[in-house]
């Protein structure tokens, strides 16, 4: 087990990529606290799976855009897990629309949840990591942060901001043995892709050299790599997990 007895926080852990990350970390021996925004029942189902992994999996309701909630989550993790080695900033929302039709509220909501959320949890966690002189921070960005995408100006801006934030934080914390990296998933099987019709899926597949949509577990395994000592000399990087759609 690459992460035996490690302690992690995963934001947005009840579905899709976040849920896969929680399970992947747990399968590698890591104790996990994950946040949820509204899916209390889904969170309890995931918590109940802790027994089969032989680790702690605990949930806490939190709003990614709230710094107070981030502080509350970190305190909860320190109290219940006894430390914090890994932070995975995964929580995010989308409110897509063409720029001419996009409301100010929808722009602000996406920036606050996706980008400010990364700031909130990093700031709330970093003192603990600096004091112990070790830590792994992994931020989930997106392929569209690199390529752009029509109808997603708010989402693209938030995910591109995460990449810039990752590089700045990596430079600030490198001397304390804290690595900060980002993952940019491409089209991954989630609730979002499940809502697409067949024509939309065919158009998507035509853009992907590997001719398939990625799995949440493929992103989660990349998280494990970045959270483990296998990546001990990697920081400030963006790893694309996208089947070749952007190269």
Q: Taken in order 115, 170, 24, 209, is the CA torsion positive or negative?
A: positive
The answer to whether 155 is a known catalytic residue is yes
Q: Taken in order 98, 104, 106, 108, is the CA torsion positive or negative?
A: positive
Given 23, 121, 155, 233, the catalytic residue: 155
Residue whose pair of structure tokens reads 């509220």 in the numeric block = 105
**Do residues 231 and 181 make contact, with C-beta atoms less than 8 angstroms apart?**
yes
Residues 122, 74: Cα–Cα separation, whole Å: 10
Residues 37, 56: Cα–Cα separation, whole Å: 20
**Do residues 37 and 62 make contact, with C-beta atoms less than 8 angstroms apart?**
yes
Residue 242: other Cβ atoms inside 10 A: 25
Residues 145, 111: Cα–Cα separation, whole Å: 13
Residues catalogued as catalytic: 155
């Amino acid at each position: 087990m690459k992460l035996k007895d490690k302690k992690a926080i995963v934001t947005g852990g009840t579905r899709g990529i976040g849920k896969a990350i929680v399970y992947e970390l747990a399968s590698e021996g890591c104790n996990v606290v994950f946040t949820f925004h509204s899916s209390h029942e889904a969170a309890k189902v995931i918590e109940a799976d802790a027994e089969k992994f032989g680790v702690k999996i605990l949930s806490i309701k939190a709003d990614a855009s709230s710094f107070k909630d981030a502080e509350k989550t970190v305190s909860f993790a320190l109290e219940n897990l006894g430390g914090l080695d890994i932070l995975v900033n995964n929580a995010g929302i989308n409110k897509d629309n063409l720029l001419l039709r996009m409301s100010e509220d929808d722009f602000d909501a996406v920036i606050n949840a996706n980008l400010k959320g990364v700031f909130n949890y990093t700031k709330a966690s970093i003192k603990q990591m600096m004091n112990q002189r070790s830590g792994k921070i992994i931020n989930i960005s997106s392929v569209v942060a690199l390529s752009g995408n029509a109808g997603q100006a708010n989402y693209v801006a938030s995910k591109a901001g995460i990449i810039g934030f990752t590089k700045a934080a990596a430079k600030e914390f490198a001397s304390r043995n804290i690595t900060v990296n980002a993952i940019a998933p491409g089209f991954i099987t989630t609730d979002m892709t499940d809502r697409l019709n067949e024509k939309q899926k065919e158009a998507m597949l035509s853009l992907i050299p590997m001719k398939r949509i990625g799995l949440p577990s493929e992103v989660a395994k990349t998280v494990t790599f970045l959270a483990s000592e296998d990546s001990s000399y990697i920081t400030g990087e963006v790893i694309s997990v996208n089947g070749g759609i952007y190269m």
